[in-house]
Structures are given as structure tokens and as C-alpha cells.
Amino acid sequence: MAAPPPADEPGRLARYGVGGIFLLPAVVILGVWILYPTVYTLIRSFFSASGSQWVWLDNYKTLFTTSALLTAIKNNVIWVLVVPAFVTSIGLVFAVLTERVPFAVAFKTAVFLPMAISAFATGITWRIMYLQDPSQGAVNALGRVAVDAVKSPGVLPDASPSTPTLTGSPATGLVLKTPLHAGGVARLGLTAIAPTDVPKTSKQAVAPVAKPGEIVGVVWRDFKPGGGVAGKVEQGELGLPGVTVQLRSGGKTVQSTSSNADGTFAFTNVKPGTYQSAIGASTFNKPWGGFAWLGTKLITPALLIAYIWIWAGFAMVVISAGLAAMPRDVLEAARTDGGTEWQVFRRVTIPLLWPVLTVVLVTMFINVLKVFDLVITLAPGSSQNAANVIALAMWRTSFGGANDFGVGSAIAVFLFLLVVPILALNIRNFKRDAI
Amino acid sequence: MKRHSLAIAALVVISALALTACGSSKKAASTASTTQTTSSSANVAGSIIFDGVWTGAEAAAFQAVINGFHTQYPKVTVKYKPVGDNLPTVLSTAVAGGRPPDMADIAQPGLIQQFVDKGALKPIEYARSAIAANFAPAWLKLGTYDGKLYGVVFKASNKSLVWYNAHAFKAAGVTPPASWTQLLADAKTLKSSGVPAYSIGGSDGWTLTDLFENIYLRQAGLAKYQALSAHKIKWTDPSVTAALKTMGQVIGDAGNLAGGTSGAVQTDFPTSVNNVFQNPPKAAMVFEGDFVPGSATVKAKAGTDYGVFPFPSIGGSAPAVEVAGDSLVAFRDTPAIQAFVKYLATPQAAELWAKRGGFATGNHSVPASTYPDAISRSNASAVSKATSIVFDMSDQQPGSFGATVGQGEWGIFQTFLRNPSNVSGVQQQLETSATAAYKKGK
């Protein structure tokens, strides 16, 4: 009974026949969708864009000499260096910490939730959150709350002088060039103020009448439909109430007042001497404009943050499972021997968890090498060159308008070659685990 | 348990495969069985598989056109497949695999040229007289490749338009400008009124190439435009320098752009439209074609909230229209296909779509009263009456130069938007990129 039955002809046929039938579906599926495309891609990578000409290694030469493709390779290197390390360490920290908190399940669910959203939807969501205008993008909105708390925005952030007699810049305040004396009149005309930004209490601007011993003036929206005459208070032009107007002498502010509904203001009891009239810089404080997360400079960091946000939950769950399976007695023993929590974590937990951490790291390496969907959805067209990664470059070259299947195939082969060593490592690990 | 379910799944997939294989071979058989020898419409029989870029409401409109054909040719079935924007890829792979559809509508003249070079398309000379009866000669020229007629533009869109916010124009006291100098003066007035003049959808590179092309068409003229489209003159040509400088008058002052320069680079096309169509607007004007109102997601009424004017003349240039058009092409030649192509050149076919709106055609036999509203009527009549008509330049160029996100023309014009003073550098980049793309195309 111990020895296998002799391999007589009908038995072997039946055995192989049945085996073959059961294998057939898998072989067909793998052949049609894996093997044939792989081999064809390899062959195609030696042909020209139209597929009519054998071009030897020209496509590979293009791959390593085109700057857009080199950027993709460079970016992939950044991805590989940053993402697996961050995802694994954040996942590890979360996994260890959630072991000690009472609401662990809720916390884990929240961290894992991004995994349940398609990367496509994630890309679009983050793209909206990253919008530069703080009134639209959530990330910059947080920044604006912080920045504006320190420096509050002025009432007329976009205004600019209507005539060259007003000098200076919105950052230092606008100063009327013409010197003033008691009995003088100051006309401070401003433009580029949207009708909706004019305060509701505003009334028709009034040209001030000079009074002895006073310096009077008007600050108004020097614009009426068609433009009007710059520097002249005209019918249809509105006064700007609530603007802080200063009277300066020798560079110092001696008096300060606020304009009325019709834009007029007056400085009384003006002593003899030369003065200048100015609108303080605080009036023009611009609200914080936000970071250009989606611009060419910040797009890769922005993508990395979103990607780590997606995958940290995955790492946490896998590592949690590893922690749960870890023999507690070893930890207890280490603590009994007088090890601090940090020492236990560093010398016992991590070495014991190492096989699990490798699985996470390797999975992330492979995922990161083929990252595509997040980049194409999150990065706007104008930043896609800067955000390019190998898989996206492959798609853009093959289908993004150029329709160059030659170079596209070469990129695919290159990407495949990059994944192979990691894949081999993974298979070796699996085999070792199996034994 | 798991293995069993896997095997079952595999079997299901295999049988599904077998079924689809049967389905497609049946389809192929019916395509081939088109009868060959008939002349009167009632006797022409066969089936046509038509792959198209139109989806949704546009697909429904084209189906109405097909139904009109069906009443005339009851024995011909036309099966329209709404492929969508991936059509160039789908067709390229289908042609490479030797199984193209019978007909298709292609928006990129460059792709048609590619198919003509490969011998994948059949000329439609049989429809020449039918087309000549309803279209201006310029349209026949647009459909001619290597001396033969291969396509006819069924649905055109007018890309020489500027859309504006009526409230912003009223508040600033400006009226639609007819000349470039007036446009620049109006932009200044609009800026003083507190509304940036232009909304630029710079994140989508094609909006920038369209702006450049409209300027170039008016400034350098028709002949130069066609020469540059075919790369017969270089991008370093002085005429390009002049056009880029003119373009700089629009994008050069960040205060004239909604969101400034950095905002313009990141704004996609639909947002650039909303910037102008919303109330209060973020900008007063947006340059783009007749499809602009369809891209707005904010509520705005034609006439009261927004209006449109033709791209202004530069230096007294005569009116000229840049169009983008979906050209009908045929991959096979059967009596059924011939009948369908000829039918599509008739005003009856165009009217069926025109009355539904969102349609313009070079077919001058379509009465203006067919169009549903004043704006589509004026846009469409500009297309059908124009004598100077050119195709979108970037659509005519090799895809790697004229139609790839972030690369070639689209990418380089985005660099130009970021730094509009670098005219000569941009010209150099364009020339290098164009040379590489044209070399590769061969």
C-alpha cells in the first residue's frame, strides 16, 4: 500500500487527462490575457510607432533620452524611496497604538476607510481639496484660517490707484504725491474694485469743498460704466466708506480718520506745514492666496501625501494581524527582564514582526512602481509632465494622443523588468513560508 | 471550496468568451453579406456598423439622423456605436487588428491622414457631386487627402468665438468689440471695473492652442496658417513671433486673468467657462468654440446672462472661421455605405440634428430657421457662410505634437502662459518638438 501504484498506460492517461481538463481554463485565461500580451508587447517594443518597421533598440533609446520620460523615471524613484517607508512606519505606529486605545475598532475603520474608495475617486476628491483658491480647496482653507488670524485681510484687497498721482504700493499704503496744506483737498481715486466688493452702505461720491484750517478729501471708486474720467468725481461713481485715511507729515502719521458713506473725510485743526494724505496698507491686505499644490513644483509631494493616506490603513491592518498573532509570552518575558517599552518595541516586537513588515514593504514597492490612476486623476493637465510616473508615461505615449505603441511597449517592458526582482523576492518568501 | 468556485468562474468566463466570439463572427458575416447590385433606394440592402465619438444627447441626435435614412432605405440597417473620446485609440487598434468598423466619424484630420497613408480608408468620390451641391468648395478641400475625397465634415463647431458675461459688460459699460485694439481697450476698462477681463482654461492645453490659432489665422492669414499646419514653415517664423506677441497682450498681464497666472495654469476648461457664466463673474470673457454653453454647470441664460461675439479682426483682417469638425469616413465601399454617405450630405440629414441644437454644419442648404435659438443660429450661419475656413491646426498635426496632455504644443503653450515674455524660447521648443513629431510620423 505504501508504494504508489505502477504507472500503467490507461491510469496515467486518465490522470493526466483529468488534470489537463481542470488545468485548461486557467491555461487558456493565462495564455490569452497574460502570456500573449506580454510576448506581443516585447516584440512590439522593437517596432516603430506605426508598427511597420523594425527599429532595433531605438524605442529604448528614446525612453532614456526624452526628458518627459526621464522625469517619469526620476519621479518613480522618489515614489519608491518615500512611499513604502512611510506607509510601513505609519502603519506600524497606528497598529501598535491602536492595541492600547479603547476605541480601537472605530479608529482602525477610519484609517482603513480610504482603501474602500477607488483610487479614481480619491484622486478627484484630493484634487478638489488641493485647489489653490482657499475658498475652494480644503487644504488651503485651513492655511487661510491660520494665516488670516495673524494678519486680517483688508476691505479693498484688489484695489489699485486710478491715477499716477497716487504712489506707493498696496503693501506700504497708497500716498497722494501732491503735498497738502491746511485748506487743501485730497482726491484718492481707486479702481479695480468689483461692484460686489463695494460696501452696501456706499453712496454717490461727493467732491469735497475746501475749508480753511482743514484738509478735506474723498476716497471713491473712480469708475463708472465706460471708464469715466480718471481722477474726477463723476455722477455714478460711489464713495468708499470705512477706509482708513491717514494724514502724514515727515513720514509720520499725525492724524487718522475713517471715510463716510459718500467717501468724504476731513482732518480738522490742521497746523501749518506740509502734509501728505495716504490710505493705510491694512486696507489692501490681501487674504492669503494659498499654496499651488497642483502646480508643477508641489504636485509630486501632494500626490505622495494622498497615496500614503490611501495605503496607511492597509499597512495598519496587516501589521495588526501580525501583532495579534505574536506570542505574548516573549513580550511579557522581555518586560519582566526590565526592558522599557521602547526597548521591547525596538528589540522584540520589530524583529518578530519583520516577516509581516517585509510583506507590506514588498507589496508597496510593487504598487508604487505601477501607480497610475491616482496621478492621472489628481494632477491637472498642466502639471502632468511634472507629476509623470512610468505607468502614466506608458499610457500617455501609447494612447494619450501620440499613439506611439512602439515606445509605449518599450516603457511597459522596462516597467516589467523593474517589477521582476521584487516579484522574485516575493515568490521566494512565499516558498520559504510554505516550507 | 475555493478551488471549486475558481473553476466554476473559469468555466463561466470561457463560455462567455465563446458566446462573444460567436456574436462577433455573426456580425462580421452580416456586414459581408451586403448586396452588390441595386440602384433604387428601396432595393439597397445591407448593414453598416458606425463607430462614433458622439455619446449621450449627441448619440440620440445622430440616431434621429439614422432613422431619417432608414425611412428612405428600409433595407439598410445602420448600427451606431457611441465610442466616445477614446475613438482614435479604438479605431487605431481596430485598423491594426484588421477589423475596422464600416464607417466612423473622426475629429482629427491628422488621424484621417494616417489611415489614408495605411490604405485603410476608401475614397468617397461617389459623393463628390452630392457634397458640392450643398457645401462651399473650402469644405471639399478640407475632406481631400492626397488628391482624393475621403471625408466630409458632418458636424462642425465654430471655434472662433468669444463668450462674455453680459452683467460684467454692462457694469463696465463696454460692448462686444469688433477689432483687436477695441478688445484690449475693453479689457482695460473691465479690469478697472474690478472684473479681470479673461478666463483662461490653461490646465487644458488645447484652449491655449485654440487662442493662438485664432490670432495666427487673423494676423498671418490663411496661406501661412495652412503652411504652418503642415509644418511647411517653421515655428521660428517671424509670423509666429508676431502672433505670440499678440497673444502676450492677452495673457501677459496677470491682473487681466481670473486667478492670476498661477490660477489660469491650473484652471480646466469647464471651470474657465463657469468663471464667466456665474454671477458675480470671476472674469468677463472666455475664448472658445460654440460648445461653451454646454460646458457650463452654472445656471445662465443666453442673452440676459451671457452673450457671444466672433473672434475680433486683427489689423482689419477679413472674417475667418476656425472649425473643428467630425468628418465622416468609410473603411469599406458598399452600395449601402455609398447611399448613407450621400444621404448625410443632404440638408435633410443635417436638419434632423440642427433642429435639436448643439449643431453647426457647412451645409449651406440648411435653412437658418432650423436652428432652435438665436445664438446657435448666428454661430452656425458664420460656419456655413464663411469662405475662409480652416481646421483646428493642432488637430491636423501629429498627435504627439498637437494632441498630447502636457506634451508638444499643449505643454509648450502652458510654459508660455507661465512666462509670456519668453517668446523666442517658446518658438524654439515648438520647432524642436514639431520636427521630432513629424519625423516620427513617417
- Distance, in Å, from the CA atom of B314 to the CA atom of B312, rounded to the nearest integer, reads 6
For position A435, what pLDDT does the model report?
Answer: 54
For chain B, how many helices (H) and strands (E)? 21, 11
CB contact under 8 A, B191 and A223: no
- HSE toward the beta carbon, residue A136, CA cutoff 13 A: 16
The answer to which of B7-21, B108-122, B175-189 has the lowest mean pLDDT is B7-21
In whole angstroms, give the CA distance from residue B200 to residue B310.
17
Q: Where are the domains of chain A?
A: 58-142+295-420, 160-284
Fold of A58-142+295-420: MetI-like fold (1.10.3720)
Residues A335-388: tens digit of each pLDDT: 888 888 888 888 888 899 998 998 899 999 999 998 999 999 999 988 988 999
- Hey, of A395, A403, A409, which one would you mutate to test binding to chain B, going by the most B CBs within 10 A of its CB? A403
- The pair phi, psi for residue A2, each rounded to 5°, is -65, -40
Helices marked H in A262-372 — which ranges?
Answer: 299-324, 328-336, 341-344, 350-369
B305 at A interface, C-beta within 8 A = no
Within 13 A of A171's CA, how many CA atoms are on the CB side?
0
- Hey, are the CB atoms on B193 and A382 less than 8 Å from each other? no
> For residue A284, what pLDDT band results from cuts at 50, 70 and 90?
confident
CA–CA dist B106, A215 (Å, integer): 72
End-to-end CA distance of chain B: 56
Tell me whether residues B400 and A401 touch, CB distance under 8 A: yes
Q: A236-251, pLDDT tens digit by residue?
A: 899 998 888 999 888 7
> CA–CA separation, B423 vs B246, rounded Å?
11
pTM: 0.83
Asked if the ipTM is above 0.95, the reply is no
Compute CA distances B252 → A292, B184, B236, B238, B432, whole Å. 20, 12, 20, 19, 24
A426 with A362: CB under 8 angstroms?
Answer: yes
CA distance A332 to A336: 6
Give the H or E element holding residue A219: strand A215-221
The sign of the dihedral angle between the CA atoms of A279, A281, A287, A292 is positive
Mean predicted lDDT score pLDDT of chain A: 88
For residue B284, the chain A residues in CB contact (below 8 A) are: none
CB A237 within 8 A of CB A205: yes
Look at residue A389 in the predicted model and tell me its pLDDT.
95
The pLDDT value given to residue B190: 95
| Full DSSP string of B254-290 | GGGBTTHHHHHHH--HHHHHHHHHSSS-S-SEEE--T
Q: Is the peptide bond before B270 cis (omega within 30 degrees of 0)?
A: no
Is the pLDDT at A13 greater than 80, yes or no? no
Is the Cβ pair A191, B403 closer than 8 Å? no
What's the rounded Cα separation, in Å, for the pair A245 and B36?
89
Q: Is the pLDDT of residue A5 over 70?
A: no
The whole-angstrom separation of Cα A145 and Cα A139 is 10
| A contacts of B280 (beta carbons < 8 Å) | 194-196
Cell digits for A130? 488641493
Asked if the C-beta of B372 comes within 8 angstroms of chain A's C-beta atoms, the answer is no
Does domain A160-284 fall into CATH 2.60.40?
yes
Coil/strand/helix, residue B165: strand
| Residue A33 DSSP class | I
For residues B112 and B143, give the distance between their C-alpha atoms in angstroms, rounded to a whole number. 9
Distance from CA of A389 to the nearest CA of B (A): 13
Parallel, antiparallel or unpaired: strands B148-149 and B144-145: antiparallel
